[in-house]
Structure 1
Amino acid sequence: MRRTGTTRRGALTASGALALGAVLTGCGGGARSGAAPGDAAADARTASARAGQALRTAAARTSHVLAGRYAAVAAAHPAASAGLAPLRAAVTEHARAFAQDTPVPPAATAAPSPASPADAPAALKALATEERRVADDRAKALTGAEPELARLLASVAAAGAVHAYLLTELAEELSS
């Protein structure tokens, strides 16, 4: 004898069909009134692109300023300039990589750098500290970046950590 009425299986099937219907018709409520359903996604993509561009521009500026610090230390301490040249070239390349699609305004790159200490080892250690700070900032920025920019930030942060180590070694070499 067959049961009549609503069964558990029938109720689950009906609720599943209702849920599927709601998903397929886009009844999420996330779209603004009067806007097309795809506009919210387009707005999110545009906001993400703007945030990524701002992050790239800031990273390019930071690299330009850091390259300026390298130049100031090399000018103040000629004995260290040979060791600083490849590191400064790498920092300049980092700035180019970040500014790939966005030219950094010249006014932003001309930020005054603090005076270099009179002692070469102290100046190199100060530069190493700055490299570490920049590398840490870039590592923190990874979480909010799109994948391609995150890879670039991670790579440049790692290079900055290596630069800090090499600058510390160069400072010890010059102090001997």
Structure 2
Amino acid sequence: MRRTGTTRRSALTATGAFALGAVLTGCGDGPGNGRDSGAADAEATALRAGTALRTAAARSGAALLARYDRVAAAHPLTGAGLAPLRAAVRAHLAALGGPPEDPSPAAPAPSASATDAKAALRELAAEERRVADDRAAALLKADPELARLLASVAAAGAAHAYLLSELAKETPA
């Protein structure tokens, strides 16, 4: 005699078919997948903003590196003290994506370094502080990954500014 009603086998088959249908529906790229064009637009805008922040930070890093080079060339006595800081600035620039395609700095570079090594180091320290402050201000607009990078580089820049100020005190006139 044959059973009437739902059997275990038919219940499992129906459940499997239902689950497979749900999975296949969720994998589509259509409007039913929970993402609408507004979310995609917001994502694209956030990506562009992050790229712009990273490019601006790289541009200011390239200008800062050029400033280190000018000070070291104009005042050879400072070369040994500037070398590790310059290497760190170069590493930060690489972490930010390398030198920007447009090598022009974001802010106009001063026409010439100070004639005095102490003054040149103080000016370089002020530039490091300015760049660090700009990067710290950009944290509010950055995505979490870029914000961590900018915070780290800004903290290093603040430390560089302190070290440059101390180097200026120790440098003979």
Q: If the TM-score is normalised by the length of the shorter chain, which range does it land in?
A: 0.7 to 0.9
The structure-2 alpha-carbon separation of the partners of 1:93 and 1:78, relative to structure 1 and needing over 3 Å to count, comes to same
Which digits, 9 at most, give the CA deviation of each residue in 1:10-43, with x for residues without a partner?
xxxxxxxxxxxxxxxxxxxxxxxxxx96100000
Secondary structure of the structure 2 residue equivalent to 1:107: coil
Secondary structure of the structure 2 residue equivalent to 1:153: helix
Secondary structure of the structure 1 residue equivalent to 2:100: coil
Match of 2:91 in 1: 93
- For residues 164 and 112 of structure 1, the distance between their equivalents in structure 2, rounded to whole angstroms, comes to 20
Which digits, 9 at most, give the CA deviation of each residue in 1:138-174, with x for residues without a partner?
1111011000000000000000000000000000001
Secondary structure of the structure 1 residue equivalent to 2:171: helix
Match of 2:26 in 1: none
Q: Quote how far apart the aligned CAs of 1:104 are.
A: 1.6
- For residues 127 and 150 of structure 2, the distance between their equivalents in structure 1, rounded to whole angstroms, comes to 16
> Which of these residues, 138, 142, 150, is aligned with residue 141 of structure 1?
138
> Which of these residues, 44, 57, 60, is aligned with residue 59 of structure 1?
57
- For residues 106 and 41 of structure 1, the distance between their equivalents in structure 2, rounded to whole angstroms, comes to 32
Question: Superposition pairs for residues 9-158 of structure 1, below 5 Å?
Answer: 38-99=36-97, 104-108=100-104, 113-114=109-110, 115-158=112-155
> Which of these residues, 155, 158, 166, is aligned with residue 169 of structure 1?
166
- For residues 108 and 93 of structure 2, the distance between their equivalents in structure 1, rounded to whole angstroms, comes to 17
Secondary structure of the structure 2 residue equivalent to 1:72: helix
Q: Quote how far apart the aligned CAs of 1:113 are.
A: 3.5
Match of 1:33 in 2: none
Q: Quote how far apart the aligned CAs of 1:107 are.
A: 3.5
- Equivalences, count: 139
- For residues 48 and 171 of structure 1, the distance between their equivalents in structure 2, rounded to whole angstroms, comes to 41
Give every structure 1 segment of 4 or more consecutive aligned residues whose post-TM-superposition deviation is greater than 3 Å: 106-109
AA matched with 1:67 = L
- For residues 112 and 49 of structure 1, the distance between their equivalents in structure 2, rounded to whole angstroms, comes to 27
Please list every run of 5 or more consecutive structure 1 residues that lacks an aligned counterpart in the other structure: 1-35
Give yes or no for contact 1:68–1:113 (8 Å, CA) kept in 2. Answer: no
- For residues 62 and 165 of structure 1, the distance between their equivalents in structure 2, rounded to whole angstroms, comes to 19
- For residues 149 and 38 of structure 2, the distance between their equivalents in structure 1, rounded to whole angstroms, comes to 28
Please list every run of 5 or more consecutive structure 2 residues that lacks an aligned counterpart in the other structure: 1-33
